[in-house]
Every structure is written in C-alpha cells, then in structure tokens.
Amino acid sequence: MSAVMSGHDVLAVMPTGSGKSLGYQLPAVTLPGTTLVVSPLISLMKDQVDELNRRGIPSAALHSMLSDDRRRQTWHHARSGQLRLLYVAPERFASDAFMRLLADLPVARFVIDEAHCVSEWGHDFRPDYRRLRAAADACRRSDDAQGRPPMAAFTATATAEVRDDIVTLLGLRAPRILVAGFD
C-alpha cells in the first residue's frame, strides 16, 4: 500500500483473500483523481463497486452489460471527478472512442487486476491486456506531473517467468515487486 501511495510502479503477487484490493482501494480514497482499475470479470467489478459504494466510496464500472445511458452517465461522473475508482474490462481499450475519452480523465493510479493475464505464460492469457501499456501512456496524471500515472499490477498467481513478463509487457518502471505467500 505504501509503495502505491508513494507513486512507485508495483507488482504484487498475493494469495486470494489477502487484501490485494485494499492495496489500491485505500490509496484511491486519499489520492486526487480517479484510480482506473482494469479487471477481467464483470461479476468481480460489480461486487467491488457495490461494496465500495455501500461504504460511501464513489465508484463505478464500464462494461458491456450497461445500457448506453448508464455508460454515458458513468463516464460523466468520472470526467467530472465524482468517482474515486473506475473499473473497466481490458477489452475497453480496443475502442478508439474510449481511448479518446480516457485522455480527459485525471488518473491517480492505473491498476491492473489479475495481471497474470498479460502473459502468454500465464494460465489465463487475455490478448487485450497487451494494450494496457499504451493505454496507461495515453492517460493524463491527476497530479499534473509529466508522463503516465503510476501503475500497480496485482495477481494471486505468477511464477518468476510470468512476473518478468508482466513487468516487461506493462512497461513497469523500477517496480516494487512484492511476493507474499500464505505463511
């Protein structure tokens, strides 16, 4: 959490249920701008957004199950700075329209959940995860500093080879690599 807060790029490999989400959700509450969270599962996005909103943390998700009106409303809330976290599927970055809209969003942190999906060596490779490096580079930082926002990649499963792949393919810069086990 402190590495994310301090603006370092981070790769965290932690078991399911060990608090990975807290590693980016708590910083999102305190940092200016919106934390953009790339997540592969609509059900996971919905669960996290529902819980965050229940706790009074304004959050939303953009995914294929939303109506056009709801999608526009969500984007309006994000652009106007009303959201602390915005969850999106990796496939969203294949849309030129979304990429143009993204340039208007002040991003505090660019977070990749289930980051093992970026690696062909991973057990759940998703080709659209390969767009995330360029997508992060296209974002505007919420602190008005130059360059892309700090990135944080989280996963429960990543061998050393997959970790190296994640760092390279996402373009993580001098990342803090944190690997925790059940013990």
Encoded tokens for 48: 């996290």
pTM: 0.93
- Tens digits of residue pLDDT in 111-153: 999 898 888 765 566 778 889 999 999 999 999 999 999 999 9
Question: Between 172 and 66, where is the model more confident?
Answer: 172
Q: Which of 118, 140, 138 is nearest to 128 (CA)?
A: 118
- Tens digits of residue pLDDT in 38-52: 998 899 899 999 999
- Tens digits of residue pLDDT in 61-108: 998 888 899 999 998 999 899 999 999 999 899 989 889 888 889 999
Q: Is the dihedral of CA 153, 158, 163, 169 positive or negative?
A: negative
